[in-house]
Amino acid sequence: MKPRASLEKLKSLLLLPKFTSREALALGVSTATLSYYIKTGGLVRIGHGIYRGAHAPVVDDFRWEDLIETMQKTKNGVICLVSALSLYGLTEEIPREHWIAVPHETRHRAKGLTKVIRMRNTSLGKTTFKIGATAIPIFDRERTIVDAFRYLSREVALKAAIAQPKQSRIDREKLRKYAKKLRVKIDPYLLALSL
């Protein structure tokens, strides 16, 4: 039987939304010990090398819990397109899949309800979004709208841009800058935003 001392060593990690086997090893807990605690119910394995304490706090907004788990499994992933539009409240569409952008050279396959979009520039407009106590990487609203022009329909992108409440309208200059950098022609459509 494994000593309870190993769980004591992991105490600082057990209440986090996730931790890695590397972080556990730095505290002196081996992967074999982590496997033991998974079998006995002390830990939950989220993905390869990613764990959570069995009593770690659950995400406040349960609708996004599986999105958070997907992001924890996706190295260098950024929430994009329909998932980002939904989180920002810019669409009425309920995403059936989690839309995640990964760098073009990344070898990541879509699993389950994940739609992977390979993009050459995943740092432009990258920010974080808090769901409960967890901050997840996401493209800002302006980048999301430009990407909607690129990958979705113009109608979806315009609806998202126009749906902004007056106090939090999109930054048109930033939108133009992103569009120019990503080679998306949106100037004719920006006229609709001024109406």
Residue recorded with tokens 């001392």:
5
The residue that leads in pLDDT, 8 or 193, is 8
Strands 19-20 and 43-47: unpaired
Using CA atoms, how far residue 153 sits from 81, 145, 146, 194, 195, in Å, is: 11, 11, 11, 20, 20
Q: How confident is the model at residue 188 (pLDDT cuts 50, 70, 90)?
A: confident
- Please give the share of the chain, as a percent, with pLDDT higher than 70: 87
Nearest to 53 by CA among 76, 74, 77, 23: 23
69 and 33 Cβ atoms separated by less than 8 Å: no
Helices and strands of the chain, counted as H and E runs: 10, 8
Q: Supply 47's token pair.
A: 């993905």
- Please give the share of the chain, as a percent, with pLDDT higher than 90: 26
Over the chain, what is the mean pLDDT? Answer: 82
Distance of CA 175 to the CA centre of its chain: 21
Q: What is the pLDDT of residues 126-169, one digit of tens each?
A: 999 988 778 899 999 999 999 998 998 877 777 777 666 665 67
Say how far apart CA 174 and CA 181 lie, in whole Å.
10
Helix (H) or strand (E) holding 118: strand 114-119
| Ranges of each domain in the chain | 5-53, 62-193
pLDDT at residue number 166: 61
Report the sign of the C-alpha dihedral through residues 62, 164, 137, 76, in that order.
Answer: positive
Contact residues for 3 (Cβ-Cβ < 8 A; gap 6+)? none
Burial of 86 (0-12, 13-18, 19+ CB in 10 A): buried
Across the chain, which distance is largest between two alpha carbons, in Å? 70
DSSP annotation string for 92-148: SPPPSSEEEEEETT------TTEEEEEES-SSTTEEEEEETTEEEEEE-HHHHHHHH
**Assessment of whether the complete model's pTM goes beyond 0.85:** no
pLDDT at 125 over 90: yes
Half-sphere exposure of 25 (CA within 13 A, CB side): 8
Q: How confident is the model at residue 1 (pLDDT cuts 50, 70, 90)?
A: very low
Please report how the helices 141-151 and 154-162 are oriented relative to each other, as an axis angle in degrees rounded to 10.
Answer: 160
Amino acid at position 195, single letter: L
